[in-house]
């Protein structure tokens, strides 16, 4: 017969096991609580510093508006330009609007990849379009932007400069997530790029039902473009990917003529999505053309943008990425800064595209004294109509053969 002592001895191992289990649970619970506290404290610290450094933060409509009906009202705007055409100024006209999320030169990250051998030339355009698509859809990730781009974004894109992306040293997942959340509140998302040379590449975006594309095609007199590029006194890194043996002026005007040919002859997908603007016209009357552009994207031109135009368009100094200088004076200043032999060389290589856009050829240096001898009117087929700020183009007609010889 078993004694009471025997029974108690039998229970001791069980009680010891229960004690170990309970003790382990206490330890694990303590560790879990500690991890949660540390994690939450880190999150609070990040968010606190973010808000402290971004007191002026504003979302597009100050509220998330992502209903199906509101998505239909979105506008995705791209300024397509060439190097030294005044695109920074035009971009700033959108960047200054608190209802617009503007991205400054997002394709710059690919600039040196082809010349350095890090990317095949055949992959360049596809990577560009993919990045544009992701930005318009607020589909950001840690690889969307390179560290080298941060200083440019943070100084030239209002939304970026006020975001966590620019308040932290590195590009973090927290910063990207914050930028994504803010991007989704903007009904108007815009960007400008000088690295997209073929307008046909935008067709995939134009026919995407999730993207409501508006293309603002900024052009400039090739003589003025080359004068400004030459004054930079540096190699055109973007042109390098085409090959060192090619002529920059010839390629510039060949691309321009190709785009004009597409616009005039076969691009029905561009209807109600395309607007052509000459730099010289904006420079002469920035307020009027800002109004035309805002009408085109179906947005009211705010007072703060008008005030900024009045102030900036009369500045005397300008530099790299400059958005402020006396544009009216700069527009045709090339007449006094470029040799006549260089002028004739550009005219020979760009005769067709110049004529198509209303830029006049000069025969003698004396003609350069009068601006009217170099700058004519933009042809009616590209002009802005008074009704809807849209190009007066018959997209199904074949009127001109613009391919540069």
Task: Name, in order, each residue with C-beta under 8 angstroms of 77's C-beta and a sequence gap of 6 or more.
Answer: 94, 100, 188, 189, 190, 191, 213, 214, 215, 216, 297
Task: Name, in order, each residue with C-beta under 8 angstroms of 150's C-beta and a sequence gap of 6 or more.
Answer: 165, 166, 171
The pLDDT score that the predictor gives to residue 25 is 52
* CA-based nearest residue to 186, from 167, 205, 160: 160
Domains of the chain: 68-382 (3.40.50.300)
Binned at pLDDT 50, 70 and 90, residue 31 comes out as very low
* CA-based nearest residue to 127, from 152, 147, 107, 104: 107
The pLDDT score that the predictor gives to residue 64 is 46
pLDDT tens-digit series, residues 115-131: 888 888 889 899 999 99
328 pLDDT above the threshold of 70: yes
C-alpha–C-alpha distance, residues 28 and 112, integer Å? 52
Binned at pLDDT 50, 70 and 90, residue 224 comes out as very high
The pLDDT score that the predictor gives to residue 384 is 63
pLDDT tens-digit series, residues 8-21: 455 455 444 555 44
The pLDDT score that the predictor gives to residue 29 is 53
pLDDT tens-digit series, residues 230-274: 999 877 777 777 776 789 999 999 999 999 999 988 678 999 999
Q: 310: how many CB neighbours lie within 10 A of its CB? A: 11
How much is the CA Rg of the chain, to the nearest whole Å? Answer: 29
Predicted structure pTM score: 0.78
Question: Average pLDDT for residues 291-296, to the nearest whole number?
Answer: 96
The pLDDT score that the predictor gives to residue 10 is 52
Average pLDDT, the chain: 79
Least confident of 82-86, 298-302, 372-376, 388-392: 388-392
Q: Which of 143-147, 328-332, 363-367 has the highest mean pLDDT?
A: 363-367
Catalogue the long-range contacts made by 33-41 (C-beta closer than 8 Å, 24 or more residues apart). none
The pLDDT score that the predictor gives to residue 60 is 58
Question: Average pLDDT for residues 148-153, to the nearest whole number?
Answer: 74
* CA-based nearest residue to 170, from 148, 198, 155: 148
Task: Name, in order, each residue with C-beta under 8 angstroms of 68's C-beta and a sequence gap of 6 or more.
Answer: none
* CA-based nearest residue to 283, from 315, 221, 327: 327
User: Tokens in use for 164?
Assistant: 């966590």
Binned at pLDDT 50, 70 and 90, residue 166 comes out as confident
Alpha-carbon dihedral of residues 238, 328, 231, 243, nearest 10 degrees?
A: 20
Strand order in the sheet with 274-278: 100-104, 188-193, 75-80, 213-219, 274-278
The pLDDT score that the predictor gives to residue 377 is 93
The pLDDT score that the predictor gives to residue 266 is 66
Beta strands, E only, 95-212? 100-104, 188-193
Beta strands, E only, 20-141? 75-80, 100-104
**pLDDT: which is higher, 285 or 163:** 285
C-alpha–C-alpha distance, residues 82 and 229, integer Å? 11
C-alpha–C-alpha distance, residues 322 and 216, integer Å? 19
Phi, psi of 219 (to 5 degrees): -125, 165
């Amino acid at each position: 017969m078993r004694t009471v002592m025997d029974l108690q001895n039998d229970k001791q191992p069980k009680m010891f096991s229960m004690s170990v289990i309970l003790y382990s649970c206490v330890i694990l619970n303590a560790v879990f609580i500690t991890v949660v506290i540390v994690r939450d404290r880190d999150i609070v610290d990040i968010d606190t510093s973010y808000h402290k450094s971004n007191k002026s933060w504003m979302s597009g409509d100050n509220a998330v508006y992502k209903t199906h009906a509101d998505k239909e009202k979105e506008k995705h705007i791209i300024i397509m330009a060439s190097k030294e055409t005044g695109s920074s100024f035009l971009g700033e006209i959108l960047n200054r609007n608190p209802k617009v999320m503007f991205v400054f030169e997002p394709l710059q990250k690919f600039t040196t990849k082809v010349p350095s051998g890090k990317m095949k030339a055949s992959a360049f355009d596809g990577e560009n379009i993919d990045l544009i698509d992701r930005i318009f859809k607020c589909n950001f990730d840690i690889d969307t932007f390179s560290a080298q781009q941060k200083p440019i974004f943070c100084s030239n894109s209002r939304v970026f400069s006020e975001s966590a992306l620019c308040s932290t040293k590195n590009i973090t997942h927290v910063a990207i997530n914050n930028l994504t959340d803010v991007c989704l509140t903007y009904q108007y998302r815009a960007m400008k790029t000088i690295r997209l040379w073929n307008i046909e590449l935008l067709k995939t975006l134009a026919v995407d039902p999730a993207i409501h594309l508006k293309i603002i095609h900024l052009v400039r007199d090739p003589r003025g473009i080359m004068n400004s590029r030459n004054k930079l006194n540096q190699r055109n890194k973007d042109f390098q990917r085409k090959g060192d043996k090619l002529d920059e002026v010839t390629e510039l005007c060949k691309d321009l003529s190709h785009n004009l040919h597409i616009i005039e002859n076969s691009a029905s997908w561009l209807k109600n999505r395309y607007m052509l603007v000459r730099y010289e016209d904006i420079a002469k009357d920035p307020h009027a053309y800002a109004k035309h552009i805002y009408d085109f994207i179906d947005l009211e031109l705010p007072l703060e943008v008008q005030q900024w135009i009045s102030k900036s368009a009369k500045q005397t100094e300008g530099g790299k990425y400059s958005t402020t200088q006396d544009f009216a004076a700069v527009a045709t200043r090339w007449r006094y800064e470029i040799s006549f032999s260089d002028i004739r060389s550009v005219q020979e290589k760009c005769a067709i595209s110049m004529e198509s856009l209303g830029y006049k050829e000069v025969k003698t240096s004396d003609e350069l004294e009068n601006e009217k001898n170099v700058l004519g009117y933009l042809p009616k087929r590209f002009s802005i109509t008074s009704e809807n700020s849209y190009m007066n183009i018959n997209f199904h007609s074949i009127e001109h053969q613009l391919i540069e010889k």
